[in-house]
């Protein structure tokens, strides 16, 4: 889908930003570029939509060299999300999302349907948000709209340049999880730039770690964490990320994506089948607006199926939860000691940010010990 073939970028003053980059990104793959400032990650991203022309070599998107395509047409077919968001303040949310479809000449009815579809996918009620102005949204909501605008014309490739860098940690973590959920549905080829190693390890199918315009290591998050190729990679990722966790620190350090999220309108039988497929005993219930409606247990679902209940609405237990803005690691540990089942973590709006599990903490511990053994 995206290829860099011996690509270099040298500026007129002699600065080499990218040096002989060779990389192939597959269709539907989520690739994250990361590295220290000046490593060439943002320049590489901008060469994909020809905002930065390559000095030598070729960048190919969907079989076409980007320097042989009209740049306006190229960019209208590649989604682009930046940290500054860039929503037009005088246009409504719906009009902002519809910007590229309008430029492409889509019929009004098709554009409206696409706008409504995307708002629903993002858990934003179109009746509430479609007619609002950007100034009436929070920073996190504005960034959501920026992502939806990039997806509006259904591009094959989406570029994201540190889109969550200016957000607070809780909002950032929530949007990362939402992006992963959205990607499971839309299956776009995403090229993402960040300076945050935790963000890269959470989001990426493959991480491309750069230094001085070259790739130091490329691979899955597990490959970079467990088999760093040199001291630079080992140091950049961090020898002991777990040691930074304090008992009184925020729980967002431990939050992971919920393995199974279901809707209240689903039947007990449907949810039981999903639990069996994933070998789980609990599922998180989230409504169409993104609000957490409780955690449902295997035993309750079996009882509901025997009683021939049509939906799981009302089955969720909501007594076991934490709020990301106020809970500590110690609070999570106390709940996990009391009962070995996931602890749902909610944001201030009552939306599901993720879960904390004994298994997740154990995996972090094993990863820490493995890295320690590899460097001894």
Please tell me the predicted confidence (pLDDT) of residue 153.
Answer: 87
Please tell me the predicted confidence (pLDDT) of residue 372.
Answer: 44
Q: Which two three-digit tokens encode residue 327?
A: 């809970």
Q: Are 2-244 and 251-362 the same fold in CATH?
A: no
**Could you give the C-alpha distances from 291 to 24, 67, 286, in angstroms and in order?**
38, 45, 5
CA distance 14 to 234: 30
Please say if the pLDDT value at position 338 is more than 90.
no
Q: Which fold has domain 2-244?
A: Rossmann fold (3.40.50)
Ranges of each domain in the chain: 2-244, 251-362
**Could you give the C-alpha distances from 299 to 258, 261, 352, in angstroms and in order?**
19, 17, 22
| CB hemisphere CA count around 43 (13 angstroms) | 26
Binned at pLDDT 50, 70 and 90, residue 248 comes out as confident
133-181: pLDDT as tens digits: 988 988 888 888 988 988 888 888 999 998 887 777 777 888 888 888 8
257-267: pLDDT as tens digits: 888 999 999 99
12-23: pLDDT as tens digits: 888 899 999 999
Q: Does domain 251-362 have CATH number 3.40.50.10470?
A: no
Q: Which two three-digit tokens encode residue 239?
A: 């020898």
Q: Which two three-digit tokens encode residue 257?
A: 């994506």
How many other β-carbons are positioned within 10 Å of the β-carbon of residue 209?
25
């Amino acid at each position: 889908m995206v290829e860099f073939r011996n690509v270099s970028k040298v500026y007129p003053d002699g600065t080499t930003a990218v040096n002989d980059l060779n990389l192939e990104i597959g269709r539907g793959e989520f690739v994250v570029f990361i590295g220290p400032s000046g490593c060439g990650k943002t320049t590489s991203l901008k060469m994909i939509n020809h905002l930065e022309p390559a000095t030598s070599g070729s960048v190919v998107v969907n079989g076409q060299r980007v320097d042989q395509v009209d740049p306006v047409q190229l960019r209208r077919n590649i989604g682009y999300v930046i940290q500054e968001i860039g929503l037009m303040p005088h246009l409504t949310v719906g009009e902002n999302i519809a910007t590229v479809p309008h430029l492409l000449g889509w019929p009004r009815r098709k554009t409206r349907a696409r706008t409504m579809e995307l708002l629903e996918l993002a858990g934003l009620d179109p009746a509430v948000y479609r007619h609002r102005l950007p100034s009436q949204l929070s920073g996190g909501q504005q960034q959501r709209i920026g992502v939806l605008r990039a997806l509006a014309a259904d591009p094959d490739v989406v570029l994201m340049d540190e889109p969550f860098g200016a957000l607070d940690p809780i909002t950032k973590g929530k949007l990362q999880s939402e992006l992963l959920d959205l990607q499971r549905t839309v299956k776009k080829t995403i090229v993402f730039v960040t300076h945050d190693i935790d963000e890269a390890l959470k989001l990426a199918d493959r991480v491309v770690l750069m230094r001085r315009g070259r790739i130091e290591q490329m691979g899955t998050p597990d490959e970079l964490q467990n088999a760093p190729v040199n001291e630079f990679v080992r140091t950049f990722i961090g020898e002991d990320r777990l040691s930074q966790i304090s008992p009184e620190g925020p729980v967002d350090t431990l939050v992971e994506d919920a393995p199974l999220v279901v809707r209240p309108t689903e039947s007990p039988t449907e949810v039981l089948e999903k639990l069996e497929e994933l070998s789980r005993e609990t599922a998180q219930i989230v409504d169409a607006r993104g609000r957490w409606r409780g955690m449902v247990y295997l035993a309750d679902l079996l009882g509901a199926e025997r009683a021939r209940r049509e939906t799981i609405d009302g089955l969720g237990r909501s007594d076991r939860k934490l709020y990301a803005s106020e809970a500590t690691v110690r609070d999570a540990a106390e709940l996990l000691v009391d009962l070995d089942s996931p602890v749902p973590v909610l944001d201030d709006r009552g939306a599901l940010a993720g879960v904390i599990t004994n298994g997740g903490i154990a995996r972090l511990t094993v990863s820490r010990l493995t890295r320690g053994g590899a460097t001894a």
